[in-house]
Copies of this chain bind each other. A is one copy, B any other.
Amino acid sequence: MKQDPADADVISHKLMLRAGIIRQLASGLYTWLPLGLRVLRKIETIIRQEMDATGAQELLMPVVQPAELWQDSGRWEKMGPEMARLQDRHERDFCLGPTHEEVITDLFRREIQSYKELPVNFYQIQTKFRDERRPRFGVMRAREFTMKDAYSFHADQESFDATYQEMYNCYSRILTRMQLDFRAVEADSGNIGGSNSHEFNVLAASGEDTIVYASNGPYAANIEKAEAAAPAARPAASQNMAVVDTPEDKTIAAICQRLNITPDTTVKTLLVRGEEGPIAIILRGDHDLNEIKAGKLPGISQPLSFCTDAEIKKATGVSAGSLGPVNAQVPYLVDREAAALADFVCGANIESQHFTGVNWERDCALEAHQIVDARNVVEGDTAPDGQGELRFLKGIEVGHIFQLGTVYSAAMDANVLDKDGHSLTPIMGCYGMGVTRLVAAVIEQNHDDNGICWPTPLAPFQLHLIALNYQKSDAVKAAADDLYDKCQALGIEVLFDERDERPGVKFADADLIGLPHRIVVGDRGLKNNCVEYKTRRDEKATECSLDTVLDNLTE
């Protein structure tokens, strides 16, 4: 494509359309064109080689999965509209596999009966379907996509830990071979379940994930998961509580302006739905709620949802902007940083009034409530392990490894016999990597104003061979055909541009497609038995002897 496509928001999506890597069939559904498929296959090959090297075994499970297995695991009802469901001609329920824990656990329970056969690690590279609410960024958040997913089963924690570490290392090797700048961080395990997990993020400004890392220490986590460090000790109370009228002040910013204070001396009160009615979560005024962490707090209804204005009014008698911990009508949870304030400002639980100089024990009976970690960390926070300050980066999640424990093996009765003949519920891990998404991530990190700059291991071809005036010049045709044949003989993957197009068009297309090496054969150079050679990243081409130019590639 000559023009930037109108409907592409991120650079990788634009370049994938323009360079003929993909075409959209429907929202979130993409056809991989010949050039793109070659990249996809190279990524798959690297993944396969590294997975095989760990002793994992490749298999292939169906895309369409029967509902019964998901009922067994308890996820048939739990999975939302993201899971696409269908009925067969006999009205039996099926889904398009968004993931394969159920299928592999079913296979395991039918095939593996003894601890002696453990550990095992099975993987596949297969199509997945997730009916995203808002597919976007091309293959970065598509509905149908290719994923490498692996599942391991273990007789004990030690065996699991070793494989989890091995997968962590394997993922690092895979992404290193792809020449990607990435970070492995602690992450939330979402609806896959289990306890700990690590995400592998490729760094990119367009990334949807915020990665938190310590400036001077080992801590790294997705912001969804990142713990806040314990706050400094609370100062002593120094003010008396007083009431101020705050008519029409609906926001923290408005209150701060009226009182000439900063938000970090205020608290805000959010009402969410709890199992036994509304629960308030109280944060320092300058902090944001972390919905993932908050969703796991005691008493909160799953999934986390906010009370409507009507529900707030009914539960408290006032509207959202006037809520606060003094004389609270509902139970509340206090974020640690909010709990570390003294002499703070908060809503008065009276319409259009706030309190100043509030102190927890004195004014709010804090001891009856829980202090929790419910906020998003912010840049500059101390790392939770105390080593360094937190910094943020944007990343694209390309891999995620999960510690599943016995969530699936227990729910699905996938037990084996241990050495004493007793039943043993295996510990499981699962290890996902987004194959199609990786192509976009690679481009996000490897492009310039003119197009893609493929890393050598992933380039669809190694060499762009451009013949100028090929249709009319016998000399060009002879030299270019000869180079092409030599490339074939040497096993150099070559894309041969012998189109009847202007040189400018050909050069622009070569930059757009972004193969690592470019050779241009033209009449002018051939007079001296020369061609032009450059790498994709070189500014200028150099004259090379026709006889030795391929040495640049074979070396």
Given contacts A25-B103, A103-B25, A60 and B40 within 8 Å (CB-CB): yes
- Do residues B33 and A59 form an inter-chain contact, with CB atoms below 8 A? yes
B144, A62: Cβ atoms under 8 Å?
A: yes
Q: Is the CB of B29 within 8 A of A62?
A: yes
Q: CA of A240 to CA of B367 in the docked complex: distance in angstroms?
A: 115
Report chain B residues within 8 Å CB of A60.
31-32, 37, 40
- Is there a chain B Cβ closer than 8 Å to A66's Cβ? yes
State whether A29 touches B96 (Cβ < 8 A).
no
Residues of B within 8 A of A81 (CB): 89
Closest residue of chain B to A106 (Cβ to Cβ) is B25
Bound together, the chains give a CA A30 to CA B63 distance in angstroms of 10
Q: Which of B61, B66, B144 contacts A64 (CB 8 A)?
A: B144
**Does B89 lie within 8 Å of A133, measured CB to CB?**
yes
What distance in Å separates the Cβ of A323 from its nearest Cβ neighbour in chain B?
34
Q: Which residues of B contact A64 (CB under 8 A)?
A: 29, 84, 96, 129, 143-144
B-contacting residues, A143-178, CB 8 Å = 143-144
A66 and chain B: residue at smallest CB distance: B26
Question: Residues of B contacting A538 with CB < 8 Å?
Answer: none
Q: Given that A25-B65, A62-B25, A63-B63 are known contacts, is A31 also in contact with B89, CB under 8 Å in the complex?
A: no
Which residues of chain B are within 8 angstroms of A497 by Cβ–Cβ distance? none
**Residue A275 CB within 8 A of the other chain:** no
Residue numbers in B under 8 Å from A254 (CB-CB): none
Contacts of A85 in B (CB 8 A): 86
Chain B nearest CB from A61 CB (Å) reads 5
- A446-478: which residues lie under 8 A (CB-CB) from chain B? none
Within 8 A of B (CB), among A53-99: 57-66, 81-82, 84-86, 88-89, 94, 96
Pairs A-B, 6 closest by C-beta atoms: A86-B86, A32-B60, A81-B89, A26-B66, A34-B57, A29-B62
27 contacts between A and B (CB under 8 A): A23-B107, A23-B111, A25-B103, A25-B106, A29-B65, A31-B59, A31-B60, A31-B62, A31-B107, A32-B59, A32-B60, A34-B58, A34-B59, A34-B122, A37-B59, A40-B60, A63-B127, A63-B129, A63-B144, A64-B84, A64-B143, A64-B144, A81-B89, A84-B88, A88-B131, A88-B143, A89-B133
